[in-house]
Amino acid sequence: MPGKDEMILILDFGSQYTQLIARRIREENIYCEIVPFNTDLISYKDRPIKGYILSGGPASVTDSDSPRLDKSFFKSDIPILGVCYGMQLMAAILGGELTKSKNREYGQSQITVNTESRLFKGVNKSSRVWMSHGDSIISFPDDFTVIGSTETVKIAAVEQKNANLYGLQFHPEVMHTAEGKKILHNFLFDICGCSGNWTTESFIKSTVADLKIRLKDKKVVLAISGGVDSTVCSLLLKEAIGENLYAIFVDNGVLRKNEFVDVEKMLSSLGLNLKAVDASQLFLDRLKGISDPEEKRKIIGRTFIDVFEDEASKIGEVEYLAQGTLYPDVIESVSFKGPSATIKSHHNVGGLKDRMKLKLVEPLRELFKDEVRQLGQKFGLEHKFVGRHPFPGPGLAVRIIGEITPARLEILREADAIYMDELHGSGQYDKIWQAFAVLLPVKSVGVMGDERTYENVVALRAVTSTDGMTADWAVIPSDVLARISNRIINSVKGVNRVTYDISSKPPATIEWE
């Protein structure tokens, strides 16, 4: 398979940065996967693994119940890079000495490195790194060489050339580590011998070929929303199976203002075999009285499947349901990726019924959002497709905190439409990864004219990001925010206060629910 004749396997010990390691590897055009630390690697014996990376993690290696690996793992000829907890685990298993620190070291530090090491080839002798660890390594086995130190950490980087073992006490994957990208590049190319041939072109070629073999002349229904994920998914499937793809766009009752009509028009321009289905009342009936965000997501997921199965029965002999599920959806939805905590159920992967009659096909589930955008550009999609902000499957249901009612939907639709209009008009939209309005479950006192009001509060959310795994709140000019706030309060009946969310991810999530 083009582009997948080499891969890096990341063993996850629960670090909040594990997904960032994967992102940095993908940026080098190398395929990688994240698996739990206790994965039975026998299942990967026929995979072209060129290197292992052991992630960081919140546990202390000195605790008796901390995540471990068998000593035999380190006897492989395949290069291994331990990061933070991964390096400490390497020390503990191979005969080093560790101690539990009284104070956790967290933040920036200055490291001095041995540039003769293959890991630090071409790296500045002194540079800024990002530390995050609670244990300290007192010693490594004698056959290891210390190749990096800070003022407070003598053993900040090590190598054992003969066994291809390397360890970093800092996180090379985060942007705060100045030379992190170069260090990872050295490990991937100079040490692991990767060639970096996993490109958008190779992904399209191999995925289309796989889909042709898997689906053959079978009919497939695709859940399509007009967003970049499902749209790119539709183009991959269309190239593989042509008219046997039936794209179904569903009005789930919690779409944005004019979304159903506008998206149907956009998708029709792609020449897809498209059917638009208004199932809004069915969704809203099932959501009535529901406030819990997880329950909302699961209800919408199950109802989606009901609608697709019903539509598929009208087509006849449909075997597959396609979805634009991405890798972050999978990572955030389930805990099988290791000790990393489940953050939320994604409607694509967390709400599917056990009794679903259709087989699932998810051509994009190995990709991050920016990789999907690159695919869209390769397919020649216009900016109105690839540049759209992400919109969750549960839609406004998870942007209305609390119960969903027609009146609350109307308020949020109008406020969100004003927000988007002003972002486009001010040139801010394309600078932002995702923006949306949220209707809060509280009311506040206000004054309009000479009268006291007690009405709803709308929160505005806007973030910058690469793939949604981490995000910073976007700095929108104050005059633009002022204009948005004034328009919403003056135009949307039932709102007397607008706030702006300045939380980053982590510790917050992008969506409020």
Q: How many CB atoms lie within 10 A of CB 210?
A: 14
- Give the rounded distance of the alpha carbon of 213 from its chain centre: 28
In angstroms, the CA 68 to CA 65 distance is: 8
Active-site annotation holder among 6, 32, 159, 173 = 173
Using DSSP bridges, classify how beta strands 126-139 and 157-160 pair: parallel, antiparallel or unpaired: unpaired
pLDDT tens digits for the chain (513 residues)? 445 789 999 999 988 788 889 989 999 999 998 988 998 889 888 899 999 999 998 888 888 888 999 999 998 889 999 999 999 999 999 998 888 765 556 678 899 999 999 999 999 999 999 887 667 888 998 899 999 998 888 899 999 988 899 999 999 998 889 999 999 999 999 999 999 999 888 899 999 999 999 999 999 999 888 889 999 999 999 999 999 999 999 999 999 999 999 999 989 889 899 999 999 999 999 999 999 999 999 999 899 888 888 888 899 888 898 988 887 777 655 443 444 444 444 444 444 444 457 788 999 988 988 899 999 999 988 888 888 898 888 999 999 999 999 999 999 999 999 999 999 999 999 999 999 999 999 999 987 766 778 899 999 999 998 777 778 999 999 999 999 999 999 999 999 999 999 999 988 999 999
> Which residue's structure tokens are 């101690």?
99
The answer to whether residues 200 and 381 touch, using CB atoms and an 8 Å cutoff, is: no
SS3 label, residue 419: helix
Catalytic annotation present for 192: no
Query: Which one of 32, 84, 192, 233 is the catalytic residue?
Result: 84
Return the structure tokens found at 103: 């104070």
In the residue annotation, 171 being an active-site residue is answered as yes
pLDDT tens sequence across 258-314: 999 999 998 988 989 999 999 999 999 999 999 999 999 999 989 988 888 888 889
C-beta of residue 370 within 8 angstroms of C-beta of residue 333: no
pLDDT value of residue 313:
85
**Closest by CA position to 367, among listed 229, 222, 508:** 229
Give the single-character DSSP code of 26. Answer: H
Helix (H) or strand (E) holding 255: none
Q: Catalytic: which of 133, 171, 346, 347?
A: 171
CA dihedral 405, 407, 409, 410 (to 10 degrees): 160
